[in-house]
Amino acid sequence: MLTRIGFIGLGIMGRPMARNLLQAGFEVMVHSRTRSRMEDLVAAGARPGESPREVAAASEVVITMVPDTPDVQSVMLGPAGVIEGAHDRLIAIDMSTISPSVTQQIAAALAERGIRALDAPVSGGETGAIAGTLTIMVGGAAEVFTECQPVLAAMGRRVTYIGPSGHGQIAKMCNQVVGVLTLEAVAEGLVLAAKAGVDVPRVIEALSAGSADSWNLRHQGPRMLARDFKAGFFVHLQQKDLRLVMELANGLQVPLPGTALVQQLLGSVEAAGGRALGVQALVQALERLASTTVGGR
């Protein structure tokens, strides 16, 4: 049974995920470029690691949760990276959202050093990371997935094996398409309700009991109404994900007109200074177009 886990990347998602591994009884070593992010986890029983190489050398499984493709490449393959801490039976699990093709390249490079790799991106945002209820989509060898299931189950409620290396990332791209289009639909509906002068909270209540119900309606709709744009997932990271989605779709010659529209609307939010807002700030772009406001004064 795998017991020694390394965790690299302690941002808005990584820190609670690492904490859940500690609470599940795993021995955890953590590393972050920002050392202060390690302090509360070390106080809770984790060991600090000076580099990805040190974390990998001390672990049976090393998990990365960092912002973008170049970050994963650096942590896994760069100087003092995970690859330099290679040892028999080491498993590397990247839970970031990155390029599927680069995921496959990284997995191949790690395999040359005997490191088995999984890509296991997540959905559920900060709330799911804290509660340990993330949806986890996994690519890689089926036998490695089976071996790592108890580790993944400590962080997620639904852990699904998708297929070979890179397929977890492709599933995450599909998740982002469905998620942003649902969010955009919620924002459009609430902007229409606000402009028409109806009671927006009652509209949310009514729609959430019918065929228009969704997680975004029930969770992000009230945030839009309350003008709560605190990030559970940042606009700029959603834009990074949509860039990856469009790269994949363009390579496959799959038109995604709705997704492209949301990318442009979020670009409007970024241009207005909303890069670090939560993705529910998408409503602001539609409010500007309609000269109205959902909630607030």
Domain termination site, one of 129, 164, 199: 164
**Do 109 and 38 share a domain, yes or no?**
yes
172 catalytic per annotation: yes
Q: Report d(CA 273, CA 8) in Å as an integer.
A: 29
**Do 146 and 196 share a domain, yes or no?**
no
Q: What are phi and psi of 272, to 5 degrees?
A: -90, 10
**Do 40 and 19 share a domain, yes or no?**
yes
Q: Is 248 part of a structural domain of the chain?
A: yes
Domain termination site, one of 136, 164, 192: 164
Q: Is 21 part of a structural domain of the chain?
A: yes
Residues whose CB is less than 8 angstroms from the CB of residue 57 and which lie 6 or more positions away in sequence, other chains included? 85, 87
Q: Report d(CA 165, CA 168) in Å as an integer.
A: 7
Q: Is 295 part of a structural domain of the chain?
A: no
Question: What type of residue sits at position 167?
Answer: H
**Do 99 and 190 share a domain, yes or no?**
no
| List 172, 195, 230, 240, catalytic entry | 172
Total domains present in the chain: 2
Residue 14's domain is classified under what CATH number?
Answer: 3.40.50.720
pLDDT at 297: 47
**Do 182 and 267 share a domain, yes or no?**
yes
**Do 204 and 92 share a domain, yes or no?**
no
Domain termination site, one of 164, 193, 226: 164
Helix (H, G, I), strand (E, B) or coil at 77: helix
**Do 151 and 255 share a domain, yes or no?**
no
pLDDT at 243: 98
Q: What are phi and psi of 288, to 5 degrees?
A: -65, -40
**Do 183 and 232 share a domain, yes or no?**
yes
Residues whose CB is less than 8 angstroms from the CB of residue 178 and which lie 6 or more positions away in sequence, other chains included? none
Q: Tokens standing for 162?
A: 């998708």
Q: Is 180 part of a structural domain of the chain?
A: yes
**Do 140 and 216 share a domain, yes or no?**
no
**Do 219 and 267 share a domain, yes or no?**
yes
pLDDT at 1: 87
Q: Is 297 part of a structural domain of the chain?
A: no
**What's the average pLDDT block by block, 10 residues per block, for the chain (297 residues)?**
96 97 98 94 97 98 97 98 96 98 98 98 95 98 98 98 98 98 98 97 97 97 97 95 98 98 98 98 98 83
**Do 58 and 87 share a domain, yes or no?**
yes
**Do 145 and 203 share a domain, yes or no?**
no
Q: Is 49 left (phi over 0), alpha (psi -120 to 50) or beta?
A: beta
Q: Report d(CA 248, CA 257) in Å as an integer.
A: 14
Residue 152 domain boundaries: 4-164
Strand positions, DSSP E, 68-197: 91-94, 116-119, 122-123, 134-140, 156-163
Residue 206's domain is classified under what CATH number?
Answer: 1.10.1040.10
Share of the chain residues as helix, strand and coil, in percent rounded to the nearest 5? 55, 15, 30
Long-range contact list for 153-161, CB < 8 A, 24+ apart?
A: 154/20, 154/21, 154/23, 154/24, 154/26, 155/17, 155/20, 155/21, 155/122, 155/129, 156/122, 156/124, 156/128, 156/132, 157/128, 157/132, 157/133, 160/135, 160/136
Q: Tokens standing for 190?
A: 């609430």
Tokens 């228009």 belong to residue: 212
Quote the pTM value.
0.95
Q: Is 140 part of a structural domain of the chain?
A: yes
Question: What type of residue sits at position 137?
Answer: M
